[in-house]
Structure 1
């Protein structure tokens, strides 16, 4: 492996009156600075999968993601840096004659072969028949699941919890497929708790699909539920890659306050939720909260 990450990632305290008024201390865990091409949780989840691929002699990676997937971009970049072939199976039909969006264009520039599936077929991404059809089309490959989230990824993200042990009472993170939260919570010390902010719709409270997904990942990685964690489900702003005027205004204000441009699909939603809950009094005075910045714009 020659990707040379910068670890542990920095922990930055910032002054924000919305937290200070409530007696809450805010830290930013700057995982976006781990690697310029594989930032944040993408490095932590992909690295153990890349090591497994190298140990097995696999030279082609196939993975799944939406049209704005940071995971697809990170996998394509890893393939370029390590000399691996990459195939990205993209949710949604390709629009003939329309240029790729900037995210997919970056994937293609890094050498990723893109394959589009309509949403009905994409929902069958774990179906052995579909995976066999993809092997028939592209040849042998190592499968990296959507979002990079599997047992290897969860164990990789446990290091994030270890780095934060003793540094904060509460750690918050945006959630797509649940792998980062699963590992983070497992790596935290007793007495610390993790809060995940899903960026996809899925029903309120314990009915959100991520509840069972995180449990499943922890079972596979650690043999059962680990750590004190929960979900805050009210800040998806309409669903994956969706936004609202309120979210845009919040992100612009946060940048003006702190000089940190916010990635909108994940990070801005998590911070919007964190600020909102803090102003509502969700955290007792004297609480230290660490927000994981998982990616950059």
Structure 2
């Protein structure tokens, strides 16, 4: 019965041009790639990464999805919604066992409402999420089907299938922009985007977490998906504002002003506001070539 239900194809998301004086005075056009509008029930661009994994689950006959994320994970929300729509059981392993003693935040409450079983683990245990023996222990502890019945999707949905799915994002923009920028959590979208852009175009990643681990993650993902490096990409790690889901009054003020200037709904603060702050700073620094076009991928809804 499940095999008859297929994930809908990912259609190109709209592109919106903004008239922003901070870019215009440097001779730069700014586009928004509205991946937040891809799917009405899933938050942001997660459908690009999830769709190939969902097809793999259905093709293999797996009836359960086991995945990982933080307390505000868009990936967990998307997986829960996708599971509900396709009739797949979903289990989310959430970083931070202390969260189990608190009321669910709106993001986790949405996961639960969509039928996701939430399992909270310590941060030390969460760091083992890629270990084969730990995954086996989790399946046993949670009473889940074996490997054939449970598809494990990594944190952020970033695996080789997801990276291949995100190459379409680059292909959709290769004739529209010289630089395409995306906020990064696990690096999967950036890895696929860079591969899809092709020669003469570059991808820019703006990490939303502290640390220097992401370059290695992107390289590993491209190696897994394509056998080696693909495309021209780089990271600018200056705009994490203290780390994942952290903010400052400066970022909050920028987000409110940017949305008001351009008649946009409130910006999503974990990814999108940091990306647009970073691009605006880079434009004012003269980092983009005069006459070039920069596209910002809006990956989440506010």
Bin for the TM-score computed over the shorter chain: over 0.9
Q: 1:190/1:121 Cα in 2 relative to 1: closer, same or farther (>3 Å)?
A: same
Matched, 1:131 2:128: no
Q: Is the 8 A contact 2:158 2:187 kept in 1?
A: yes
- Runs of at least 5 residues in structure 2 that lack an aligned partner in the other structure: none
Structure 1 segments (4+ residues) deviating >6 Å: none
CA distance in 2, matches of 1:266, 1:84: 28
Deviations 1:126-172 (A, max 9, x none): 12221111111232211000000000000000000011111100000
Secondary structure at 2:31's aligned position in 1?
strand
**Number of residue pairs matched?**
292
Shift of 1:40: 3.2
Deviations 1:162-214 (A, max 9, x none): 11111100000000000000000000021000000000001xxxxx2110000
Q: Is the 8 A contact 1:5 1:35 kept in 2?
A: no
Shift of 1:26: 0.4
CA distance in 2, matches of 1:285, 1:22: 6
CA distance in 2, matches of 1:269, 1:95: 25
CA distance in 2, matches of 1:201, 1:192: 27
CA distance in 2, matches of 1:198, 1:49: 24
Please report the TM-score for the alignment, with normalisation by the length of structure 2. Answer: 0.94
1:188 corresponds to which of 197, 202, 206:
197
CA distance in 2, matches of 1:262, 1:3: 28
CA distance in 1, matches of 2:39, 2:7: 8
2:271 corresponds to which of 262, 266, 276:
266
Deviations 1:237-292 (A, max 9, x none): 00001011111001000110112221110111011000001001001210100100
Matched, 1:21 2:30: no
Please give the residue correspondences for 1:234-245 in structure 2 after superposition, counting only pairs within 5 Å. Answer: 234-245=238-249
Matched, 1:163 2:172: yes
Shift of 1:80: 0.6
Please give the residue correspondences for 1:1-297 in structure 2 after superposition, counting only pairs within 5 Å. Answer: 1-4=5-8, 7-95=11-99, 98-137=102-141, 138-140=143-145, 141-202=150-211, 208-260=212-264, 261-297=266-302
Q: Is the 8 A contact 1:68 1:241 kept in 2?
A: yes
Shift of 1:39: 3.7
CA distance in 2, matches of 1:151, 1:3: 18
- Runs of at least 5 residues in structure 1 that lack an aligned partner in the other structure: 203-207
Shift of 1:41: 2.4
Q: Is the 8 A contact 1:4 1:35 kept in 2?
A: no
Shift of 1:95: 4.2
CA distance in 1, matches of 2:246, 2:112: 23
How much is the aligned-residue C-alpha RMSD, in angstroms? 1.2
CA distance in 2, matches of 1:178, 1:26: 23
Shift of 1:4: 3.8
